[in-house]
Amino acid sequence: MKHPPCASSPSTSSAKPRLAQLDGLRAVAICGVMLHHFGVKPGAWLDWGPVAPTVFFILSGFLITNSLVKMRTTGRMGWEGLTAFHIKRMARLLPALYLMILVGWFSGLPEYREGVGWHLSFMSSTQMALTGEWPGSLSQLWSLSIQEQFYMLWPLIFFLPLTWWPAAMLLVAVAAVAFRLACIRLGAPSMFEWFLLPGSLDSFAAGGLLALALRRFPAWKPGRWLTLLGGIAVAGLWVAGRALRHLEGSGSLWLALVETAEITLFSALLVLLATNSSHPLSKFLASRPLAALGKISYGLFIWHMLISTALGPHLDAAGLTLQSGVLMRTAILFSVSLLVAWLSWIAIEKPSISWAYAASEAMPRWFLAQSRRWYRRAVALATSARATGRESL
């Protein structure tokens, strides 16, 4: 399976007005990941941490697809539009990430120095797949790497005719399941299934298909009975996913369907949240504390493992170990992570987002003007060279 404990990367983009309940869903997911990493594990049947990447991947597919559909339908799917799209992604992700890596580098942690090139270029997941090793306090970056690789490739679908989009996304989802089945059948290292992009593409595709469906039927809302039946199905899928995870290490082909069950579960949840803001669950997730926590979830994701690595020995020395005092230890680590994530949002992420939107408007035009300028120069030089050649004859 592709979702080991150390994995989370909150999505960061939306083409529609921000839905507070989706921020709340991110908050619940990142809290589950942090609790898992900090040593609070309620048992396999209730442990939220390992399945959180599925939530983030589906959200990414949903939000990025909405953004790209808007670009295509407004005629901005050309070179300038894609440049602006990637400028926003990079400006949103890189500053906090690179600062965290820089802090780890100067702290002398070996994982920051030995594989820094992989982590700086969003190839952490590939490094882990090839080496079969966890890079300590950078291990959570596998999912961020996969998300950025997805951002680079997903826009290609939107150059296809509009009527082909659902089929293309469905084909991508089927290919992901086939990839996981092939990994298990061929006895490939389990990290190939976990950390290579093809094994996660059905999560992104599910989010994309939901985005297309909700755009096609914007007024649709699940009725009371459908919501009730959906809730029962979600509970059943959770149990099925948990049961399948107990097959880990057995080589059973059923393991390839763990993600399928979880994707279906969280896709149904996303439909409910996106279409029914008045539902009690939507209202709970849209509450101010959870929405605020979801807004800084990227900072929590970036920093919490480094904070745990830095403070862990001191907490152990104070008697707050994983065996005794785990709750107080977790409360301290969580509080420090919240503080650092909030500072990261205020000082780094929020300004970089503002800069990104300004730069995404100006830089593509500048690059286009420069490319046209150099093209004209090249044409002029070629014409001059041809004329010179004729004169020499």
Q: Is the pLDDT of residue 67 over 50?
A: yes
156: Cβ–Cβ under 8 A, 6 or more apart, which residues? none
DSSP state letter for 347 = I
Mean pLDDT of 28-38: 89
> Lowest mean pLDDT: which of 6-10, 287-291, 375-379?
6-10
Q: Is the pLDDT of residue 13 over 50?
A: no
Q: Which residue segment(s) compose the domain that 123 sits in? A: 20-392
Q: Report which of residues 216 and 332 the model is more confident about.
A: 332
Has residue 277 been placed in a domain?
yes
Mean pLDDT of 151-179: 93
Mean pLDDT of 280-288: 89
Are 116 and 105 within 8 A, CB to CB? yes
Has residue 12 been placed in a domain?
no
Residue 104, both tokens: 């780890």
Highest mean pLDDT among 69-78, 246-255, 295-304, 318-327: 295-304
Are 329 and 322 within 8 A, CB to CB? yes
Has residue 4 been placed in a domain?
no
CA–CA gap between residue 177 and residue 175 (Å, rounded):
5
pLDDT band at 2 (very low <50, low <70, confident <90, very high): very low
Residue 180, both tokens: 């996981």
Mean pLDDT of 135-160: 91
- Concatenating the DSSP letter of every residue in 241-273 gives HHHHHTTTTS--GGGGGHHHHHHHHHHHHHHHH
Has residue 5 been placed in a domain?
no
Are 369 and 74 within 8 A, CB to CB? no
Q: Can you give the length of the chain in residues?
A: 393
Average pLDDT, the chain: 81
Are 22 and 294 within 8 A, CB to CB? yes
- Please tell me the predicted confidence (pLDDT) of residue 310: 92
Q: Is the pLDDT of residue 1 over 50?
A: no
Has residue 1 been placed in a domain?
no
Has residue 10 been placed in a domain?
no
Has residue 92 been placed in a domain?
yes
- Please tell me the predicted confidence (pLDDT) of residue 166: 95
Q: Is 34 helix (H, G, I), strand (E, B) or coil?
A: helix
> Lowest mean pLDDT: which of 5-14, 186-195, 210-219, 292-301?
5-14
Are 149 and 135 within 8 A, CB to CB? no
Mean pLDDT of 275-291: 87
- Please tell me the predicted confidence (pLDDT) of residue 4: 47
Highest mean pLDDT among 73-82, 160-169, 275-284: 160-169
- Please tell me the predicted confidence (pLDDT) of residue 15: 39
Has residue 70 been placed in a domain?
yes
Mean pLDDT of 153-161: 92
CA–CA gap between residue 255 and residue 259 (Å, rounded):
8
Number of domains in the chain: 1
Mean pLDDT of 198-216: 91
